[in-house]
Homo-oligomer: A and B are copies of this chain.
Amino acid sequence: MSTTTTIDPGELRKALGSFATGVTIITARGEDGAPAGLTVNSFNSVSLNPPLVLWSLANSATCLPAFKAAKYWAVHVLASDQDELSRRFARSGGDKFAGLEIETSASEVPLLKGCMARFLCRTASQHQGGDHVIFIGEVLEFDRTESAPLVFHRGRYAHATTRDPAEPKPRAAHLAGSFSEDFVGYLLGRSHFRFFAQIRPFLEAEGLSDMEFYVLSALTLKPLLSGDQITEGMAGVLDERRHAALDTLVARGLARLQPDGYELTPRGREAALNLIAAAKGIESQVLERLGPSDSTVLKSLLNRLLTAIDNHNPDAL
């Protein structure tokens, strides 16, 4: 460790930001009756018996007087989809509660909805801690829901995804540098093909090849697509077989060529929607096994991966 004699606050903030936290909004009723609240990630539990939690608030915070005077306050642990709410309560000034649907505790504390967990607390003690005041509160009431948490790490919002107790390790590879399970190309290929293998019986029932299904699907994206747009919209998914696939779809009366491009026929649209519905049914089963929180993160990461792959051509439909 560097034997720094003077601490650089910027560097210290970065180092402290290494510790990931959930995100909470803490609310109270000011002495003037106005609701007060702010986003806090310095929350933590202290004791189970008696049930105590703590958080800290900057001496400079405009709502400090309200919290110092408040007998009661509520901690709201935010869910993954509440990042907007978090931003709203992180700003200083303005009526942060405007337009929000608020409940009120018997002790008059304003309560927010849609949170992962809420704790109604009575101030147990306050301690001065440098440029912050540490509030310790006794939990009087609480509730919680099953949802994914909003996480804060290195100054940014993050998702949390459960790890398996025994995380899959890359299996022993025969050759150094072989095409192993740790290789993203392999994982993507295998995931894609295995997933698609479950959809294929539905395609076979319709007498469609993979490529014909891709083209059919591309045609659902817009009413009319030129050959170029089809290629672009499904860029990378279509290869030279798309021409034959288009011809087949036209020959089978599922698509037709108009002056400005290709469109689905009513029968083609019906077939496409049925197949997509079947594919989504498969997807639901798979994602249910993966769990809602991890499914959200997987989709988000695949979208980001696509951006990373397509770094030099971020076009496409």
A9 within 8 A of B: yes
Q: Is the interface of A mostly helix, strand, loop or mixed?
A: mixed
Copies of this chain held together in the complex: 2
A68 within 8 A of B: no
Closest beta carbon of chain B to A178's beta carbon, Å: 4
Of the candidates B20, B119, B179, B199, the one whose C-beta lies within 8 Å of that of A221 is B179
Alpha-carbon gap, A43 to B177, bound state (A)? 40
Q: Contact check, A130 vs B51: say whether CB atoms are below 8 A apart.
A: yes
Q: Contact check, B236 vs A143: say whether CB atoms are below 8 A apart.
A: no
Q: Contact check, B49 vs A19: say whether CB atoms are below 8 A apart.
A: no
Alpha-carbon gap, A175 to B276, bound state (A)? 11
A45 within 8 A of B: yes
Given A134-B46, A177-B280, A277-B177, answer yes or no on A161-B163 (Cβ-Cβ < 8 Å).
no
A129-184 with Cβ < 8 A to chain B: 129-132, 134, 136, 139, 141-144, 149, 151, 153-154, 156-165, 167-168, 171, 173-175, 177-184
Q: Contact check, B18 vs A144: say whether CB atoms are below 8 A apart.
A: yes
Q: Give per-residue flags for A219-239: 1 if the beta carbon is below 8 A from chain B beta carbons, else 0.
A: 011110000000000111100
In the bound complex, residues from chain B placing their C-beta under 8 Å from that of A125 are 127
